[in-house]
Amino acid sequence: MELIYIGKFYSRENVRWEVQLLRNQDYEPDSIGLLHFPGTEPLVFEWTEESKEVPLCGSTATLTVLSPGDRTYTGLYTDDPTAVRLDVYRNGTLYWSGCMDTEFYEEPYSQVENYEVLLTFSDFGVLDRLRYDLAGMQSLHDILQNALSRSNINYVDIDSSMVSTCLAHSFKSIGLADLKVRSDNFYDEDGEAMSLRKVLEGIFQPLAMRMIQRDGRIWVYDLNGLYMNGKSRELRWMSDDQTLGVDKVYNDAKITWSTYAQSGNLLPEECWGDIETPANETALNTQDGGFKDGGVKYYSYHYSSKLNDWTDSTDCGFTIWTALDGRNAELGESKDRYTRFFKIVPQYDGTESEGIAIYWEGVQAVLDPFNPKHVTYYNRPYGWRALMAEDIDRVDLPLFRTTPIWAPPVMEADNLVLRIAIEMMMDPRFNPFEQAETLWAEGNIKFEEQDKWYDEFEKDGNFVYVPIMVKFQPDGSDDIYVWDNRDAVKYPVKYPITTLRDTYGRWVRYSKDAKTTTWGYLAYYDADDREKKCGVLGWKKNRPAINPHRQRLLSILSKAEAGQYIPYPNFGGGGGKLWIEVRGGGWMIAKSGQDLSITDTMRNLYSSVNWVLMKMPELEIMNSTQFDKAIDTDDVEYSAKLNESAKEPIEIETVCGTSAKGVPTARGAYFNTKTGAQITELSRAGRTTQTEELLIGTLYSQFASRKTRLDGTVEIMSGSLQTYRDASQPDGTVLMMTGSVENVQDDTMEASFVELRPDEYDKAGT
């Protein structure tokens, strides 16, 4: 930032105040303007009075200057709330900093020069207008530093020396770098980020921490730490306006932690881009399809099984649109072989869906111009046809991969599994939404027996295996791990896989030597009839992968929800990136009761396939101890009686917190920066329990009984964050300032002080 204005004045006690205005610009100004001040109240600071439980204690500055000419300072105002900053120095030392309030400006319009202009500034006010923008795991210190940097205020350092909270059973106070949180906790389900103010309130309030700017420093502290470690100064009253009163008292205290635990599908369901797909736009009875700009194509399909009907341009069942560009997934090296994003638009049949088109065909019926009753059909393949395995120990390049998501660190990873499901359509019908029938032409000419293909799939294609790579990269590491279940799938059928746990597979380290020899399989089969039915034809989801045997499955496996269950990745202790790749080549079709191998039957079955489509993969975190039970996402509540005679309760809702048993997938949990473990308890004032219980203890100490309150005009007391005492109060009474208005020219401030107590716990109160 560049200095654009400067001014100085002295207070009545000969304190030198220097004011600097700086602007965020890329060039140095031709000259630095000189500020002139009126005779009274040139600079006033206000710390709005805040109750003791409020985490952010912001302040404002009102600077009054004399305008030497008409509208001299109107150029300072801009839409950018961080563009202009006020730095104030007291006797050469930074005292306060904040940015201009862009929401308010007013000056006399009837005068030409030497009129007063009020410029207002705020230190933390700008945090309401800035959105959180970090990702991954972040320490509390990094979040605060990022917020302060983006708010553009100037400060000497961040002082957390008056934090008295410790890690569980420790006697050393935590630093802000000792705890970390998940960034996704501060984004809603639509990806909208919280304001920086709400984020800072969210990370500090459960820890009973407060933040304030004093004497050029950002102080982060808790009330117990302020009581125990704050330097104390005696109040010097400067007027006879002081009053004695009492602070508020609360009845009940309730703290509700919204865990924001991850549940349901963690991957986006949509992948089609912003391309319009009008239902009235079709490309029926053409192998080539229709064309749009950007490589977009679309193909329409008949709903009739009579070949003669295909020439009717209104006989349209559905249209599939394809595009090279999409979202939430990336086409792999297969894109040069025409794998595409797709969207199905129904006309008279079909269901709207989107995903990745791996293989499809354009079809066309052609009339003989010399014999109107003679018709034949042609089909043209698109996509990646070479899916079937040529070598059981080899797979090909990726067909597509999902955009990586962040898998959080969890407590007791052995009690969790990931469930991966991909809904796939592998089908021999030209129109997979109509019943499989023999394709006829006029005169009973039989062209294709699609019903026969259907029967053959159910007879010999009971199992379909699709190779995938599920990859996990721990935060801060170059290592990558890959999930592998090939041993289970390749077991001879005389050793049947019948238990769910035997289908889980394992994680192995991914290396250059393993790029083509480490992967896992998704298995498609009918759980109710693995001998006479198949797991494809129409839209079907994979099931826990077993070898292609006919033996009875244990009920927990046979009744499991669709999807592949795999161990939760637990490497490095800090979470990491996870993504899924569907591979080309290496696909297998197997007959029930026969060992997995490459056969002519497999090749013949696949030769009849006209469709291979996949919807976006689904990924869900599940309990493994309470099988198939979704993760508990309920809020966690803590409550206590503070003073049953008081009238009002106090209720606090938090976005960060702890639970005695932990909440495995809670976005709002605290984590130990060094170990990566989820925090379930902390210590303060000799007590170890959940942060919410500690906070209730703090509330009990401050609001369970009446505390003295003093208001009046006192001498400005600069220096570090401190506590106060008054000669007229009983010995041992400690006061804290809860709000003030400082008139620096008079060296006085109108302030409010409330009695402060250390954290004291009582069974009745907690």
Q: Considering only CA atoms, give the Rg of the chain.
A: 35
Q: What is the DSSP string of 254-290?
A: EEEE---B--S--S-S----S----TT----S-SS-E
Answer yes or no: are the C-beta atoms of 263 and 618 closer than 8 Å.
Answer: no
pLDDT at 450: 72
Residue stretches of the chain with pLDDT short of 70: 104-105, 109-112, 313, 334-337, 372, 439-448, 512-516, 625-632, 762-766
For residue 763, report the phi and psi dihedrals to the nearest 5 degrees. -55, -35
What integer pLDDT is reported at residue 671 of this predicted model?
Answer: 92
Contacts of 371 (CB under 8 A, 6+ apart): none
Q: Which residue has the tokens 């170890």?
A: 688
Query: What are the tokens at 645?
Result: 């005679």
47 strand-pairing partners:
59, 740
50: DSSP letter: -
Residue 341 tokens read as 């994003």
* Structure token digits, residue 258: 């919204």
pLDDT at 631: 65
d(CA 510, CA 548): 27
Could you tell me the end-to-end alpha-carbon distance of the chain, in angstroms, rounded to an integer?
Answer: 50
Distance CA 34, CA 37 (A): 10
φ/ψ of 146, rounded to 5, equals -65, -45
281-to-223, 313, 380, 654, 679 alpha-carbon distances in Å = 68, 12, 21, 51, 56
Q: What is the pLDDT of residue 230?
A: 92
For residue 424, what are its two tokens?
A: 């796939």
Of residues 263, 266, 180, the one with CA closest to residue 574: 180
Cβ proximity of 303 and 349 under 8 Å: yes
CA separation for the pair 461, 591 (Å, rounded): 5
39: its two tokens = 């005779």
Residue among 363, 266, 379, 271 at smallest CA distance from 319: 363
The pLDDT assigned to 473 comes to 94
Give the per-residue pLDDT at 81.
86
Supply the pLDDT for residue 440. Answer: 63
CA distance 362 to 305: 16
- pLDDT for residue 515: 52
Instruction: Give bridge partners of residue 506 from the DSSP assignment.
Output: 484
pLDDT of residue 763: 46
- Name the nearest CA neighbour of 606 among 490, 397, 464, 431: 464
DSSP state of 228: H
